[in-house]
Structure formats: structure tokens, C-alpha cells
Amino acid sequence: MLHREPIKSQRPGNPPGKSRLVSLITGSLILLLAAAWISLLLGRYPASARDILAVLAGGQVTDPLLSDIVKIRLTRMALAGMVGATLALTGAVFQALLRNPLAEPFTLGVSTGAAFGATVSLYLGLSATTIYGLTLVPLSAMAGAGLSLALVLALSRGESGFLRPATLILAGMVVSSFLSALISLIKSLADETLSSIVFWLLGSFSNRGEGHLIFLLPYLLPALALALFWYRELDILALGDLEAQHLGVHVARVRFWLLISSCLAAAATVAISGVIGFVGLVIPHLIRLISGPGHRSLLPLSLLLGAGLMILADVLARIILPTGEELPVGVITSLLGGPFFAWLLYRRRREIEGW
């Protein structure tokens, strides 16, 4: 059983008070509900607000097809929200554990490992084989993520058993670069399956169902529980490992369990939705601008705003093309996240240089 040790009140940053935190969470929840409603309302087939409310309440609608459409959109909206919440939460945790503002779920190479496993599965034509309602693609992706995580931990663990941030990032870059090269090699060998591999790697929620929701939950919930349980330790780790140890934090234990749970949660999102970048990087930075660096507010707000952003990105992916075709959602998040992050860097540079 994990034991929580007493932590002194010293911590960096200026966290918001209780009333402001409640206001921020309430505002984020309203934005999330608005995004969810837009997701149910918009799509290739028209659906009125009255019909959607009737389906959600279990009532009758004039068109039986409409009931199925709303249920499919509801499942897809829930899946997009859970993936966005997981990516944003794990991004905030990685940035704290690695003390690197550019860290995100892809930094340690686990997401690339999941992409490699899925690419091998698609190349071998295993996408039609199912186990308990899921194709072998997400299962292969989790196997690839597990292999990648084992390699990163083996490369970065020193004689003392400590997992140091700089070594972890370096090991992640090495593993990620190697697996990316293998993915490129498979893509060059693929012929008929190349388009499906490329589309999957760009990220999508198309043709996903309730089984994918159930698949993600066992990874998201432990990562969320551990992050919330150790939110004060995440604040104190910003001071450095030595200072955190002096303040009562068991650095090795906290870092190991948070890394394992966050890596598995991030890998599960890649396994069911493909590679979707920038959410885990941009959302924590945006929230720090609003509420400060304290993880008591950063973690729940990341969860809510990450879910809302991903739901809206999925809506744009479905409706932005006039031909009715669907864009990969990873393209939308990159188009939104790239300029925003460039603005963040520009703003940060102005603050440092005193423009």
C-alpha cells in the first residue's frame, strides 16, 4: 500500500485560492459541456436539438436512423473527451516529473512505441482480427508501448536505481528515434496497407466504439488517481530532487509510479486513436497562464480543457471539408497547437528580454 508522507507547506508558485479554483473549474466544466453539445449537434447528417434531447431522454424520434446517429456521436464524443483529458493530464505530469516545459506524452518514446506496434499490426493485415470486440491494432500498440517503456527504463536506470530526468529524456529520444526509423522502413515496404497506416498514424476517432472506451478506462483512472494523490509532491519536485527529498518526498517512488501510470495511459490513447500531438504540450501551458503552476488547479483544469479541446478538434475534423470527407484529428490539433505554441514562445521571450 502506498504511504503518503507529511509534506511541509513550502512550495513554488502562487496557487489560486479556493473560491477562484472553484470558479475556474466551473467555467471549464461549462466549456466542456458546450463542446459536447456542439459535437452532438454538428455532423454530416442534420440533427435538431429537440431530437437529440429526445434520444438522450430515451424518447421516440420521427426518424429511427437519427437515434443511431446520436448514439454513435455520443460514443465518439465521449472517446474524444477521454483521449484529450488523458493527453493533457499526462502532459502536465511529464512536465513536472522531468522538469522540462517541452515534455509531453511523446517525450519518453512510449507513444512512438505504440505507433510502431500498431504499424506492424496494420502491415501484417491483422486489423480485421478481433479479440473481445477489439481489433489486434490497439493490443499490438500496447505491446509496442510496453516494449518501448521497458527499453527506456533499462537505459536510464543507474546503479542507485534513481530515474533522473535528463537521462530519461535522453533514453526516450534514443528509443523514439530508433522506432521512428523502423516505422519509416515499414511504410516504405508497405503497398496496399500504406494509406491505412498513414491515416492511422495521423489520429482519428472514426469507426471506434464502446469497446475502445472500456479499453482506455483502466489506464486513465490509475494515472488520474496517482496524479491527484501526489499533487503536492509534483509541486515540490520543481525545486529539484535533493530539495524535494529534504522536504520529505520519496522522489524515486513518486517518479517511478507516476511515470509508469502516465506512460501506460498515454500509450492507451495512441492505441485507440493514433498519434495526436500538441494537446499534452499546449493545454498545461495554457492553464499555467490562467491559474499558475500549482498542480492542485493544473491537473483538474488540464483534464477538463483537454477533453473540451479534443472534442472540438474532432468536430472540426468531421465538418471542415465541404466534400463530407473526414480529416485526421491529429492534423487539426497540430494546425491549432503549432501557432498557439509559437505565440507562447514569443510571449515568453518578450518577458525574459523585457520587450
Tell me the pLDDT tens digit for each residue of 324-347.
Answer: 788 888 888 888 877 877 777 777
Report residue 353's pLDDT band, with 50, 70 and 90 as the boundaries.
low
- Mapped onto helix, strand or coil, the DSSP state of residue 163 is strand
pLDDT at 11 over 60: no
The answer to whether residue 313 sits within a structural domain is yes
What is the H or E stretch that residue 4 is in? Answer: none
pLDDT at 282 over 70: yes
What long-range pairs does 203-207 form, CB within 8 A, spacing at least 24? 203/273, 203/274, 203/275, 203/276, 203/328, 203/329, 203/330, 203/331, 203/333, 204/273, 204/274, 204/317, 204/326, 204/328, 204/329, 204/330, 205/76, 205/79, 205/80, 205/83, 205/273, 205/314, 205/329, 206/326
pLDDT at 351 over 80: no
- Quote the crossing angle between the two packed helices 194-201 and 165-189, to the nearest 10°: 150
Summarised one tens digit per residue, pLDDT across range 12-22 is 445 567 788 88
pLDDT at 250 over 70: yes
The answer to whether residue 11 sits within a structural domain is no
Please tell me the distance from the alpha carbon of residue 225 to that of residue 221, in angstroms, as a whole number.
6
The answer to whether residue 129 sits within a structural domain is yes
The answer to whether residue 353 sits within a structural domain is no
The closest alpha carbon to 15, from 6, 28, 24, 4, belongs to: 24
The closest alpha carbon to 351, from 264, 305, 288, belongs to: 288
pLDDT of residue 5: 46
pLDDT of residue 305: 93
Could you give the number of structural domains in the chain?
Answer: 1
Can you give the CATH number for the domain in which 232 is found?
1.10.3470.10
Q: Which residues contact 7 (CB under 8 A, 6 or more apart)?
A: 232, 233, 236, 247, 248, 249
For 109-157, give the DSSP string. Answer: SHHHHHHHHHHHHHHTT-TT-EETTEEHHHHHHHHHHHHHHHHHHHHHB
pLDDT of residue 30: 94
Summarised one tens digit per residue, pLDDT across range 196-247 is 888 888 888 887 888 888 888 999 999 999 999 999 999 998 888 888 888 8
The answer to whether residue 24 sits within a structural domain is no
The answer to whether residue 355 sits within a structural domain is no
> Which class for 352: exposed (0-12), middle (13-18), buried (19 or more C-beta within 10 A)?
exposed
Give this prediction's pTM: 0.86
Report residue 8's pLDDT band, with 50, 70 and 90 as the boundaries.
very low
pLDDT of residue 310: 93
Does residue 4 contact residue 225 with C-beta atoms inside 8 Å? no
Rounded to the nearest integer, the mean pLDDT of the chain is: 83
Query: What domain range is 277 assigned to?
Result: 32-348
The answer to whether residue 132 sits within a structural domain is yes
Please tell me the distance from the alpha carbon of residue 61 to that of residue 35, in angstroms, as a whole number.
23
The answer to whether residue 12 sits within a structural domain is no
Report residue 303's pLDDT band, with 50, 70 and 90 as the boundaries.
very high
